[in-house]
Amino acid sequence: MSSPRTPQPVDEAFAFDPTDPRQAKDFERMAKIRREKPVCRPAPNVVLTTRYEDTARVFRDSKRFSSVGDMRAPGVVVPTEESFLGELDAPLHPKIRRVLLKGFTRSQAAAVGPWTRGEVKRRLAGLVSRGGGDLMNEFSIPLPGSISAHSLGIPDALHDRVMALCDELLHSTWPTTGRTERGEGIAGSFPELAGLIDEQIRLREGGGGDAPDDLLGLMVRFRDEEGWEIGAHHNRTLVVNILAGSLSASYMLGNLIYRLLTDAGFERALRADPANCLRAVDESMRLEAPVAFLMRTAREDTEIGGVPVYAGEHIMCHIASANRDELVYDDADSFRLDRVDPPEHLGFGIGPHICLGNHLTRQVGTIALEELLAVLDGHRIELAPDFEWECVNHLQEYGPEHLPVSITKRG
């Protein structure tokens, strides 16, 4: 990608540092920009979109707006084999996506539903027996990744370890720089995680009679009619992608649980209509989008919302702001379960890069709420007296870092 021909001036009235998590996830700031200049330049070489239509248009138009380098710091380039699916363009992106999609259909999500419910029950039962714990570290963080790991075919006994390592990866410098102080790439930065995944890949290579028949096996053994294959190195990265990507669902769960524990009206609404559990998942994905924004890069000179955009400029597609667009949603800043056929929120993205795991995310959110209500039938779940809500320490993710609770039996 080339840089803009002439540096464009920053809109000083709306300037902020897009690499500062607090500023990038400042909803009041975004609301002001959305009202006064919905497409602007908050920093050099960065164009911000804050309204629904502009943001959705960029996501849909992969020909004009590249995904390469989506989560990386400006100037950081990683090898294709170290790239997540969301930072690839055509023709490679759709080729890989077609393979992965076989494990993330609506019917596949339904098939894993009973296992998911059993896993939710097991983890909640452990918290109840211990009288509480951290509902992020001990429930929300490991649970969605465990479901993704199960779908891949990774043995249950490894789930918590690989998810703890993926959580560490998410909080490290690897997502933005492709490295940590330990070394380069996933293998250099997180050798234990790479080793665990590589061993699972080796078990599936060759396709012998004992090779597991699962999504990871499909990824490893897939060859198209021209002999193209994903390759072991990229398969390792994509497994990390699937596991670490599930942490967005973790923060969705955290947002829902926090609301359940702090808003009695929310609990009453869920009990009044079982269908509200699913509605709550989508309303949380809208109002409390667990991925606040994604980045794109202009491939050519174009415009967004009437604002000229030049080849090489980065587009900060602000999902959290677009999901609160007053032109699209009535009472946009309120959490409401009575919305009638609302426009599709952008919490899962839209267009060719729409989240593969959207069915699993909706399912785990719904089941988690149902089973938490069952626990609340006989127990009190209360946040620690000194609890203060703190956002996860990650540039793009939005949700609570911790949810320490006590769980006591009702008298």
pLDDT for position 70: 80
pLDDT of residue 2: 45
Mean pLDDT of the chain: 94
Give per-residue pLDDT as tens, 45-97.
Answer: 999 999 999 999 999 999 999 999 888 887 888 999 999 999 999 999 999 99
pLDDT reading at 14 higher than 70: yes
Phi, psi dihedral angles at 317 (to 5 degrees) = -85, 100
| The pLDDT of residue 107 is above 80 | yes
Query: For residue 69, what pLDDT is reported?
Result: 80
pLDDT of residue 7: 79
pLDDT of residue 210: 67
**Residue 234 buriedness (CB in 10 A; 0-12 / 13-18 / 19+):** buried
Phi-psi region of 256 (alpha: psi -120 to 50; beta: other; left: phi over 0): alpha
Domains of the chain as residue ranges with CATH: 12-409 (1.10.630.10)
Q: What does DSSP assign to residue 387? A: -
How many Å apart are CA 45 and CA 19, to the nearest integer? 13
For residue 1, name the pLDDT band (cuts at 50, 70, 90).
very low
Q: Does 341 score more than 60 pLDDT?
A: yes
**Of residues 375 and 69, more confidently modeled:** 375
pLDDT in tens, 196-243: 999 999 999 876 666 677 999 999 999 999 999 999 999 999 999 999
User: Is pLDDT of 136 > 90?
Assistant: yes
Contact 75, 64 (CB under 8 A): no
Q: What percent of the chain has pLDDT over 90?
A: 90
